[in-house]
């Protein structure tokens, strides 16, 4: 089973908005065993749309189109569908009643002719009823391909995918089973991991494929199994994950796409009633923002001091001015005093402190570009480590955040 996802809109092509719809649709299709063969973004141009439809016809079984269903003249998808299917528009009574109820009942204004035209659909289309918006979805078939048109507004698209499209596709098509397992690792690069698990990877069964998904400070290992027998796939997947865990146990922090280091760390902190705070210089509060993005963070996260300026390190965190003059603001000694000062001030079990030179210019700091010191103060004392994360600036900050969370996670596990 193969699908193509087509987003229509000049605003996407000029970078005015980011296409998030395609990723949502692809994930939804994958869950029911339909592989996305191609993703395209095309302009609001009738000829271009028709050529795209013709190209995809019979190449894939499913084409899902988003965008161009609005009430204004630049939204041409419905009329283009009519041209492609040699059809014409008719007024759908159920859609019109819904549009009228939304405009007059919720928005409290008279319905206009433009609003009424939202109820126009191709005469042979199966209407996908949009409970959360005024633009209905459309399902039409030609030869070996199903064409599905959805609104480009993300929350409307999501509603229709979840409540109309996926259930209908699951009923219409026989599909293979697709299972995914994501293993989250921190603290080791992609190439080093590949060397370590090379023999295991070379002996994976035909039905399972491995993909490396690296990002600053972490590597996701995604196992994908495809086949006709769901139970056999589950057994084989569990076997391979167990073997991989034995090889990479020291760097694995989770077995779920959504279990990032901050989620796993948050659960560890909450379960053990451990409190934490951050003192951040070069990371600019990003560690705190990452921790507090997890629901329930208030149970363990007590606060942060973004001591970007040297004077703040001295006046708020109590770093000794002589320490800075002797060792420099980017140093192990300063990171240590930042962590200890914060731990005392916030009355927390653990304190994370960062100081570094993220770039892009070296300025008057003696340390090399990319140098970061991370200190962790805990019940047993404080330790500090030095890193060089290279450049550019964004990479340094992201890797410093990831490494900070990794260090405190591993430190707590030592208890």
Residue extents of the structural domains in the chain: 2-172, 177-254, 261-413
The fold of 2-172 is: Molybdenum Cofactor Biosythetic Enzyme; Chain A (3.40.980)
The closest alpha carbon to 133, from 150, 111, 110, 108, belongs to: 150
Candidate ranges 105-114, 218-227, 256-265, 276-285; pick with highest mean pLDDT: 276-285
What is the pairing mode between strands 252-254 and 276-280?
Answer: unpaired
pLDDT exceeds 90 at position 106:
no
The fold of 261-413 is: Maf protein (3.90.950)
Q: How far apart are the first and last CA of the chain?
A: 50
261-413 shares the fold of 2-172? no
Average the pLDDT over 247-271 and give the result: 90
Read off the pTM. Answer: 0.68
DSSP state of 104: I
The count of residues in the chain is 415
pLDDT in the model for residue 254: 86
Tens-place pLDDT, residues 268-295: 999 999 999 999 999 999 999 999 999 9
Please tell me the CATH code under which domain 177-254 is placed: 3.30.70.2860
Tens-place pLDDT, residues 334-387: 999 999 999 999 999 999 999 999 988 877 677 889 999 999 999 999 999 999
Strand partners, 185: 219, 252
277 Cβ contact partners less than 8 Å away, ≥ 6 residues apart: 301, 302, 303, 304, 305, 342, 343, 346, 348, 350, 351, 352
DSSP state of 175: -
- Buried b / exposed e over 330-360, threshold 16 CB at 10 Å, is bbbbbbbbbbbbbbebbebbbbbbbbbbbbe
Long-range contacts of 255-261 (CB under 8 A, 24+ apart): 255/181, 255/182, 255/183, 255/184, 256/182, 256/184, 257/180, 257/182, 257/220, 259/184, 260/184, 261/184, 261/186, 261/218, 261/402, 261/405, 261/406, 261/409
pLDDT in the model for residue 259: 78
**3-class SS string, 334-358:** HHHHHHHHHHHHHCCCEEEEEEECC
140 Cβ contact partners less than 8 Å away, ≥ 6 residues apart: 81, 85, 87, 122, 124, 125, 126, 146, 147, 148, 149
pLDDT in the model for residue 217: 81
CA distance 92 to 190: 54
pLDDT exceeds 90 at position 86:
yes
Q: At what angle do helices 261-271 and 393-413 cross, to 10 degrees?
A: 30
The closest alpha carbon to 403, from 270, 271, 251, belongs to: 251
CA distance 182 to 33: 17
């Amino acid at each position: 089973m193969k699908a193509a996802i087509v987003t229509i809109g000049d605003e996407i092509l000029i970078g005015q908005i980011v296409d998030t719809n395609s990723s949502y649709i692809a994930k939804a299709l994958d869950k029911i065993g339909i592989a996305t063969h191609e993703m395209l973004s095309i302009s609001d141009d009738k000829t271009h749309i028709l050529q795209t439809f013709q190209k995809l016809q019979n190449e894939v079984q499913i084409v899902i189109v988003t965008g161009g269903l609005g009430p204004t003249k630049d939204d041409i998808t419905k009329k283009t569908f009519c041209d492609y299917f040699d059809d014409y528009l008719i007024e759908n009574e159920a859609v019109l009643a819904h549009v009228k109820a939304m405009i007059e009942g919720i928005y409290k204004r008279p319905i206009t002719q433009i609003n009424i035209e939202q109820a126009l659909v191709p005469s042979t289309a199966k209407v996908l009823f949009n409970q959360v918006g005024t633009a209905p979805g459309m399902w039409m078939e030609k030869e070996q391909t199903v064409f599905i048109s959805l609104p480009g507004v993300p929350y409307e698209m999501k509603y229709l995918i979840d409540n109309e499209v996926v259930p209908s596709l699951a009923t219409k098509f026989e599909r293979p089973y697709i299972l995914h397992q994501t293993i989250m690792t921190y603290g080791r690069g992609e190439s080093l991991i590949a060397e370590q698990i090379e023999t295991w990877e070379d002996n994976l069964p035909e039905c399972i494929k491995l993909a490396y998904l690296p990002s600053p400070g972490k590597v996701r290992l995604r196992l994908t199994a495809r086949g006709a027998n769901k139970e056999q796939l589950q057994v084989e997947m569990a076997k391979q994950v167990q073997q991989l865990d034995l090889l990479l146990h020291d760097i694995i922090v989770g077995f779920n796409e959504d279990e990032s280091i901050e989620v796993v760390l948050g659960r560890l902190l909450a379960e053990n009633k451990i409190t934490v705070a951050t003192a951040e210089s070069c990371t600019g509060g990003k560690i705190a923002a990452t921790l507090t993005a997890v629901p329930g963070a208030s149970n363990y996260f007590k606060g942060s001091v973004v001591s970007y300026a040297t004077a703040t390190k001295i006046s708020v965190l109590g770093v000794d001015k002589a320490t800075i003059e002797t060792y420099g603001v980017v140093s192990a000694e300063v990171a240590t005093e930042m962590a200890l000062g914060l731990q005392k001030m916030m009355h927390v079990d653990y304190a994370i402190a960062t100081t570094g030179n993220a770039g892009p210019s070296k300025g008057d700091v003696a340390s090399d570009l990319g140098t970061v010191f991370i200190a962790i103060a805990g019940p047993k004392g404080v330790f500090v480590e030095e890193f060089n994360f290279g450049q550019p600036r964004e990479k340094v900050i992201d890797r410093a955040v990831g490494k900070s969370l990794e260090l405190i996670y591993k430190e707590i596990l030592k208890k």
